[in-house]
Amino acid sequence: ETGVTQTPRHLVMGMTNKKSLKCEQHLGHNAMYWYKQSAKKPLELMFVYNFKEQTENNSVPSRFSPECPNSSHLFLHLHTLQPEDSALYLCASSQDSATSTDTQYFGPGTRLTVL
Amino acid sequence: GENVEQHPSTLSVQEGDSAVIKCTYSDSASNYFPWYKQELGKGPQLIIDIRSNVGEKKDQRIAVTLNKTAKHFSLHITETQPEDSAVYFCAASLNDKIIFGKGTRLHILP
C-alpha cells in the first residue's frame, strides 16, 4: 500500500472541531478521488480531481471541503461535522479520471468518528 | 444513471471449495468492470478486471465472466484458501463514472 498513503489512519473529533485528512499518491497519476465508505452501503464517490481541477462534486455537503494543491496531494477539510458523517474515508488515484477503463488504486483509509 | 446490484451480501464456503459472486448493472453502455478485495483495516485492492469486449478473463484461481446481453458479470474463486476471506466489491464504469456494488463478505471455513 505504499502507492497511496493516507493520514491519519484514525480520527475522533467533536462536532465543533476542524480537522483535515491528507492523501498522497506516489504513482505519478493525474486523477485523485475521495470516497466515503459506510457500513452496508456502496462506496460513495465524493469528489474527483483531474490534473488538479475538480471535475466532480457528488452533492457533498459544504462541511466537507476538498483541496488539491498538486497531482500528488489531496486534502479533505472537515468542519462542523455530524455524527452520521462517521465512516471510513478512502482516497484513490488513477492515471486519468476521464478514461473509464483506468484502474483506481485506493489508500488504506481514515476511520473517522464524530462524537 | 448506472445502478449495480451485488449478491450475495454474505457467503460462507468450505476451504478448498469454489465461491461465486454475481453482479448486475443497468446501463448497457458501461464498458469496464473491476473487482476489488478489501481486507480488514485496508483499502480496496483491484484483483481482476474485464472490459466489455471480452467475455471471460482468468488469473490463477480467480476468473471473471461478463454477459453483456444479460448485463451481468460474476467473480469465480476456485480452491479457496483462508486468505481469500475478505469483502469483495464489483463495479461498473462508464466514461468518468464508476459505480460500486454493496459488497460481499466472504468467509472461508476451515
pLDDT tens-digit map of B14-49: 999 999 999 999 999 898 999 999 998 889 999 999
Q: How far apart are CA A33 and CA A74, in angstroms?
A: 8
- How much is the pLDDT for A100? 63
Residue A41 sits at the chain B interface (C-beta within 8 Å)? yes
The SS3 of residue B101 is coil
- pLDDT value, residue A1: 47
Window 34-93 of B: residues touching A by CB (8 A cutoff) are 34, 36, 41-46, 49, 51, 89, 93
Distance in angstroms (rounded) separating the CA atoms of residues A89 and B15: 32
Q: How far is CA A71 from CA A1, A43, A49, B63, in A?
A: 18, 23, 8, 34
> Smallest Cα–Cα separation from B5: which of B102, B76, B104?
B102
Considering only residues 77 to 96 of chain A, which have any Cβ-Cβ distance to chain B shorter than 8 Å?
A: 90, 92
- At which residue does the C-alpha cell 457528488 appear? A58
Positions of chain A with pLDDT under 50: 1
Give the pLDDT score at A61. 92
Out of B31, B98, B102, closest to residue A104 by CB? B98
For residue A11, what pLDDT is reported?
Answer: 96
In this predicted structure, what is the pLDDT of residue B50? Answer: 93
For residue A100, give the chain B residue with the closest CA.
B95
Residue B68 confidence (pLDDT) above 90: yes
> Once rounded to an integer, what is the mean pLDDT over residues B62-85?
96
B98–A56: do the CB atoms touch at under 8 Å?
no
List CB contacts (< 8 A) between B89 and chain A.
Answer: 42-43
**Is the CB of A27 inside 8 Å of chain B's CB atoms?**
no
Closest approach of chain B CAs to the CA of A14, in angstroms?
23
Average of per-residue pLDDT values in chain B: 94
The dihedrals phi and psi of A43, each to the nearest 5 degrees, come to -55, 130
